């Protein structure tokens, strides 16, 4: 039921300003309110939500976990409200140049197949599509949308989740035939691996052992600049690689790649997000149209591996990009 006695959008606006500007006084000055008035409004918001959003100290303000989640959602909601008002007032249609930066495997498998239909629906949009696994600064690169796989860094970007995928260690049959199949994570020391030419949030491969998680990784025989290059090196028998199941699922089902150390797989996942700048100004119609299009047509479930009775691995409950009629 709607609460007409509470101006929730105003509360969100004040809260976001406090976070963005780093304090009650700065936000009050920007909003032409008193610092005590801003402080009381935030306190009232916390009481209404039943959660502390901000840890207050004499030196600085820090967000709680609940505050960080509320901030991200509030930024997106405020941007959508501004965009809805702008489009309602001007009747704006998507047009102009749209720059999209995407992770290479996800872009090849899930984004590129959708592009023809998106451009058909929005003929006044011109698309610049860049595929790279290197993280970019959207503002510096003048990109409208970036599709990222893995943990997101703390930032003022707005993120919309598109899916999630488990990770798996794999090797080609010809590599395993001459190097052997590792039985425990400790065996990786005697194997060759495929690493990365750029920093990763997780430096080594995690494995579960009882209630604990340990890390191990084979010495790199080669390093790749992106997930597709790593996949191709693994297919060529260069060494073992740890890749997302949404990317290599077909290779596993066809037998081109074989999962190893599955009994030690911790089941960790990498989320897939579309991120964009959405809180500094109304979101352009072309950007909103593309993000909504992805959210409607891209579905990457949480696929899992299961060994069939014939000994072959099967990818279960995987959903690829939904066909468009």
User: What are the structural domains of the chain?
Assistant: 8-89 (1.10.10.10), 93-325 (3.40.190.290)
Confidence at 2, pLDDT banded by 50, 70, 90: very low
pLDDT score at 182: 96
CB-based contact 128:100 (threshold 8 Å): yes
pLDDT of residue 324: 39
Helices (H) and strands (E) in the chain, counts: 11, 15
Please compute, for residue 25, the number of CA atoms within 13 A of its CA located in the half-sphere on the CB side. Answer: 3
Residue 212: pLDDT over 90: no
Nearest-angstrom CA–CA distance, 191 and 213 = 20
Inform me whether the pLDDT recorded for 319 exceeds 50. no
pLDDT at 26 over 60: yes
Lowest-pLDDT range of 117-131, 143-157, 258-272: 143-157
Summarize the confidence of residues 140-147 as an average pLDDT.
Answer: 79
**Cβ proximity of 289 and 168 under 8 Å:** no
Nearest to 264 by CA among 202, 206, 306: 206
The answer, yes or no, to whether residue 155 has pLDDT greater than 90, is no
- Say yes or no to pLDDT of 175 above 70: yes
> Which pLDDT value is given to residue 232?
96
Burial class (CB in 10 A: 0-12, 13-18, 19+), 255: exposed
Cβ burial, residue 130 (10 Å; 0-12/13-18/19+): middle
Residue 314 is predicted with a pLDDT of 78
């Amino acid at each position: 039921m709607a609460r007409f006695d509470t101006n929730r959008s105003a509360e969100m606006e004040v809260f976001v300003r406090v976070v963005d500007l780093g304090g009650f006084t700065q936000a009050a000055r920007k909003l032409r309110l008193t610092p005590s008035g801003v402080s009381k409004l935030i306190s009232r918001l916390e009481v209404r939500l039943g959660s502390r959003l901000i840890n207050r100290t004499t030196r600085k303000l820090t967000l709680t976990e609940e505050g960080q989640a509320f901030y991200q959602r509030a930024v997106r909601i405020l941007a959508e409200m501004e965009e809805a008002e702008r489009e309602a007032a001007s009747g704006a249609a998507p047009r102009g140049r749209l720059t999209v930066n995407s992770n290479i495997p996800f872009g090849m498998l899930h984004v590129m197949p959708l592009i023809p239909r998106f451009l058909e629906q929005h003929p006044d949009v011109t698309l610049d599509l860049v595929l790279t696994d290197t993280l970019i600064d959207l503002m510096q690169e003048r990109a409208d949308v970036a599709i990222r796989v893995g943990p997101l860094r703390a930032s003022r970007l707005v993120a919309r989740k598109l899916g999630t995928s488990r990770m798996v260690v794999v090797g080609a049959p010809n590599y395993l035939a001459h190097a052997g199949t590792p039985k425990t994570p400790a065996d990786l020391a005697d194997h060759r691996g495929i690493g990365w030419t750029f920093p990763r949030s997780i430096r080594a491969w995690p494995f579960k052992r009882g209630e604990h998680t340990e890390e191990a990784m084979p010495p790199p025989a080669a390093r790749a600049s992106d997930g597709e290059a790593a996949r191709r090196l693994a297919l060529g028998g260069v060494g073992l690689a740890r890749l997302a199941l949404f990317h290599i699922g077909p290779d596993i089902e066809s037998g081109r790649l074989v999962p190893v150390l599955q009994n030690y797989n911790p089941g960790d996942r990498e989320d897939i997000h579309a991120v964009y700048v959405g809180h500094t100004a109304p979101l352009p119609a072309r950007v909103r149209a593309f993000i909504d299009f992805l959210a409607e047509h891209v579905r990457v479930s949480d696929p899992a591996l299961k060994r069939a009775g014939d000994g072959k691995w099967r990818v279960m409950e995987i959903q690829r990009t939904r066909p468009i009629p």
